[in-house]
Structure 1
Amino acid sequence: MGKEGESNNVVEQQQQPLPSPSKFPLSFWEATMASTVALVFVMGIFCVYLTMPDSDYSFLKLPRTLQELQLLRDNLESYTSDYTAQVLVGYCVVYIFMQTFMIPGTVFMSLLAGALFGVFKGVALVVFTATAGASSCYFLSKLIGRPIIFSLWPDKLKFFQSQVAKRRKGLLNYMLFLRLTPTLPNTFINFASPIVDVPYHIFFLATVIGLIPAAYVTVKAGLALGELQSVGDLYDFNSIATLFLIGIVSVTPTLLSKNES
Structure 2
Amino acid sequence: MAAPRNVTATRDEEKGEDDDSPSAKKPKLERFPLNTWEFAAAVAVFFVFSTGLFCIYLTMPPAAYTSLKIPRTLSDLRLLKEDLSMYASNNPAQFILGYCSTYIFMQTFMIPGTIFMSLLAGALFGVVRGILLVVFNATAGASSCFFLSKLIGRPLVTWLWPEKLRFFQAEIAKRRDKLLNYMLFLRITPTLPNLFINLASPIVDVPFHVFFLATLVGLVPAAYITVRAGLALGDLKSIKDLYDFKTLSVLFLIGFVSIVPTLLKRKRVYE
Written as runs of structure 1 = structure 2, the 5 A alignment for 1:83-122 is 83-122=91-130
* Aligned-residue offset at 1:240: 0.8
Number of residues of Structure 1 aligned to a counterpart in Structure 2? 242
Asked if 1:124 corresponds to 2:132, the answer is yes
* Aligned-residue offset at 1:213: 0.5
Q: Which residue of 2 aligns with 1:251?
A: 259
- Residues 113-151 of structure 1 deviation map (CA, whole Å, 9 limit, x = unaligned): 001111100000000000000000000000000000011
* Partners of 1:22 and 1:147 within 8 A in 2: no
Q: Which residue of 2 aligns with 1:181?
A: 189
* Aligned-residue offset at 1:24: 2.4
Asked if 1:203 corresponds to 2:211, the answer is yes
Query: Identical aligned pairs, as a percentage?
Result: 65
Asked if 1:147 corresponds to 2:155, the answer is yes
Q: Which residue of 2 aligns with 1:41?
A: 49
Q: 1:164 aligns with which of 172, 183, 187?
A: 172
* Partners of 2:122 and 2:227 within 8 A in 1: yes
Considering Cα pairs closer than 8 Å and 6+ residues apart, tell me whether 1 or 2 has the greater RCO: 1
Q: Which residue of 2 aligns with 1:63?
A: 71
- Residues 153-199 of structure 1 deviation map (CA, whole Å, 9 limit, x = unaligned): 11110000000000110100000000010000000000000000000
* Partners of 1:21 and 1:150 within 8 A in 2: no
* Partners of 1:115 and 1:225 within 8 A in 2: yes
Asked if 1:237 corresponds to 2:242, the answer is no
* Partners of 2:67 and 2:84 within 8 A in 1: no
Specify which structure has the higher proportion of helix.
2
Q: 1:204, 1:67 → 2: CA distance?
A: 33
Aligned AA (2:70): L
* Aligned-residue offset at 1:235: 1.4
* Aligned-residue offset at 1:60: 1.1
TM-score of the superposition, structure 2-length normalised? Answer: 0.87
* Aligned-residue offset at 1:59: 2.8
* Structure whose alpha-carbon radius of gyration is higher: 2
Q: 2:166, 2:29 → 1: CA distance?
A: 14
Answer with 193-202 or 23-32: which moved more: 23-32
* Aligned-residue offset at 1:86: 1.6
Q: 1:101, 1:49 → 2: CA distance?
A: 19
- Residues 211-261 of structure 1 deviation map (CA, whole Å, 9 limit, x = unaligned): 000000000110110110000111121111000000001011101101211
Secondary structure of the 2:63 match is coil
Q: Which residue of 2 aligns with 1:14?
A: none
Answer with 105-114 or 54-63: which moved more: 54-63
5+ residue gaps, structure 2, are 1-27
Q: 1:175, 1:252 → 2: CA distance?
A: 13
Q: Which residue of 1 aligns with 2:225?
A: 217
* Aligned-residue offset at 1:57: 2.4
Distance 1:22 1:231, change over 3 A: closer
TM-score of the superposition, structure 1-length normalised? Answer: 0.90
Answer with 123-132 or 91-100: which moved more: 91-100
Distance 1:240 1:128, change over 3 A: same
5+ residue gaps, structure 1, are 1-19
Asked if 1:28 corresponds to 2:28, the answer is no
